[in-house]
Structure 1
């Protein structure tokens, strides 16, 4: 009876969205930014030292890594200076080269909203200025790390707001810093806003359209980590980001996938994710995500609650988590558990 009731609630939401009432914004649909970054056409036309360049859209990250391994320093520098947006977003390219390429690309935009990303010491692993912008930032030494974690955020995150003032330990960068501190610096952490996220609570947040595009990018990103010799990652997935992770799970080599504040992962159980990763789930007592019906109907909703016993995920203690974004707050049970998972400690 309870399932029937929730199905009816979701059906009502579908009608509400179509009608454009009750606060659901039908006009907030985001244009998905995907494919190769700007400058890909010029890159394809170039041939330094008479060598064909790997296609930024189709080349496997392993192929990219082998290409750069065969280049001399002068040829690498030529590509870096001539095609910074491509090099900076090319999965499989050497990490230091990508950091420098993105510093150049960010500075070249001339936009004040991105200026801080080009500051000395920042390790920007990806930067795409199209739309609201996408960005990935590394905290720690990813090139030599024994352990790597990736933060996949949810709605309202993009490159334009990456450095915006927030409550401490929230947002992808804040979560990444908090996790790295909690591990005692034992893991490198990537704050990965590498997909077009929903804005607000609207149709995009209730459907899987943006998550499907994001899952392709996340899978390619993790393949890029593998291509440069980074360890298999632990992926932490917040809110709508857990929808992305659920769809990408079978295509990544993650050791662990942690969903927290999740509306669902587009799966009925851990088995449906078809992953060899250990799957974890957390939800705080005051997280409003608990009010979201865990069903799928007429394209709306993201399926089963990952914290439910039937889903089969390992539970992360979260009894003291405040609200929807407090999972990385210092002193919380969830942060302590996240740090242990990130370090590979048995639980």
Structure 2
């Protein structure tokens, strides 16, 4: 027991975060809207399939009117038409100068609460045969989502590299949950990951409701904890973890997913120093890249450090691209 406590005690520094949960901003005004002569789908309770069915009953002009009057709701409403969400989020971003760096992008979700959350689409999500989602780890929010000095360690940077390596694949860079800040207790526990898992599962439900193919989901660092908790309800074709501290599961079977599960960890990644234990709520369990976990291995010997898996020319990126395109069996 002493070894486990000593191994996990290093998690004890960092900044505590409170997960942003619940329906998007503006939901109260949306619920009070009687312009259609009937209730609008409640963002807190309607399923993505119910949302999709509702929008199919509306002519384009009505849809656009709702997006114009309620941009923060429509822009975050999983199951709403993809192009309409882009339009709504463009309106919301114009009204919030803090996030001007996101203007002009295909923004699938934008929530300004807390540190800010965002999801961007690279490519043609509505028509691509292959789709991928990138789920980041700690220290990512709407402000740090894309950093020029860290081109392969942010969701935007990882998504760009995957899109380049797998042409024709639509890639969603999903910073859609409250991430831990630093390597502290938040990063060692599952509270933020569980909140993120619910949002991630709803994202994939919304894609399915719009007829988008089941995606390959790439989960980096703490993002793999999110993906592990989401796995039983996640509509994914493939689940790929890289630089993972654990998935809160002992084996692939424990994930209770029909997705193929892959794992990558390069020899120079500092994540190897994080104990693969769970004790009194700390730690995330077995190493998904370990031989006993049962994940399919992704070669990563030529990647460098914790954020080098998507670097151009690496075997890991080439394999990721093949998984995204469905070229590996």
Q: TM-score range by the shorter chain?
A: over 0.9
| Alpha-carbon distance in 2 for matches of 1:10, 1:145 | 46
Is the contact between residue 153 and residue 241 of structure 1 (CA under 8 Å) also seen in structure 2? yes
Is the contact between residue 116 and residue 163 of structure 1 (CA under 8 Å) also seen in structure 2? no
Given the alignment of the two structures, is residue 43 of structure 1 paired with residue 25 of structure 2, yes or no?
no
Residue 238 of structure 1 deviates from its aligned partner by: 0.2
The structure 2 residue matched to 1:281, chosen from 263, 266, 269, is 263
> Which residue is equivalent to 2:2?
8
Secondary structure in 2 matching 1:48: coil
| Alpha-carbon distance in 2 for matches of 1:93, 1:346 | 32
Q: What do the CA deviations read for 1:255-313 (whole angstroms, capped 9, x no partner)? A: 11001000000000000000000000000010000011101001100000001111000
> Which residue is equivalent to 1:213?
195
Residue 14 of structure 1 deviates from its aligned partner by: 5.2
> Which residue is equivalent to 1:76?
63
Paired residues for 1:312-327 under 5 Å: 312-327=294-309
Secondary structure in 2 matching 1:216: helix
Residue 38 of structure 1 deviates from its aligned partner by: 0.8
Secondary structure in 2 matching 1:192: strand
**What 5-or-longer segments of structure 1 have no aligned partner?**
1-6
> Which residue is equivalent to 2:108?
125
| Alpha-carbon distance in 1 for matches of 2:57, 2:299 | 48
Residue 116 of structure 1 deviates from its aligned partner by: 2.2
> Which residue is equivalent to 2:185?
203
Is the contact between residue 19 and residue 195 of structure 2 (CA under 8 Å) also seen in structure 1? yes
Is the contact between residue 140 and residue 179 of structure 2 (CA under 8 Å) also seen in structure 1? yes
Given the alignment of the two structures, is residue 30 of structure 1 paired with residue 13 of structure 2, yes or no?
no
TM-score by length of 1: 0.92
Given the alignment of the two structures, is residue 182 of structure 1 paired with residue 182 of structure 2, yes or no?
no
> Which residue is equivalent to 1:3?
none
| Alpha-carbon distance in 1 for matches of 2:148, 2:312 | 18
The structure 1 residue matched to 2:47, chosen from 46, 49, 60, is 60
| Alpha-carbon distance in 2 for matches of 1:298, 1:47 | 49
Residue 16 of structure 1 deviates from its aligned partner by: 6.2
TM-score by length of 2: 0.97
State the Cα RMSD in Å.
Answer: 1.2
| Alpha-carbon distance in 2 for matches of 1:108, 1:145 | 31
Residue 167 of structure 1 deviates from its aligned partner by: 2.5
Is the contact between residue 86 and residue 107 of structure 2 (CA under 8 Å) also seen in structure 1? yes
| Alpha-carbon distance in 2 for matches of 1:145, 1:222 | 15
Is the contact between residue 136 and residue 190 of structure 1 (CA under 8 Å) also seen in structure 2? yes
Q: What do the CA deviations read for 1:12-61 (whole angstroms, capped 9, x no partner)? A: 255566xx6xxx23xx1101101111100000011222021001111010
> Which residue is equivalent to 1:142?
125
The structure 2 residue matched to 1:92, chosen from 79, 86, 101, is 79
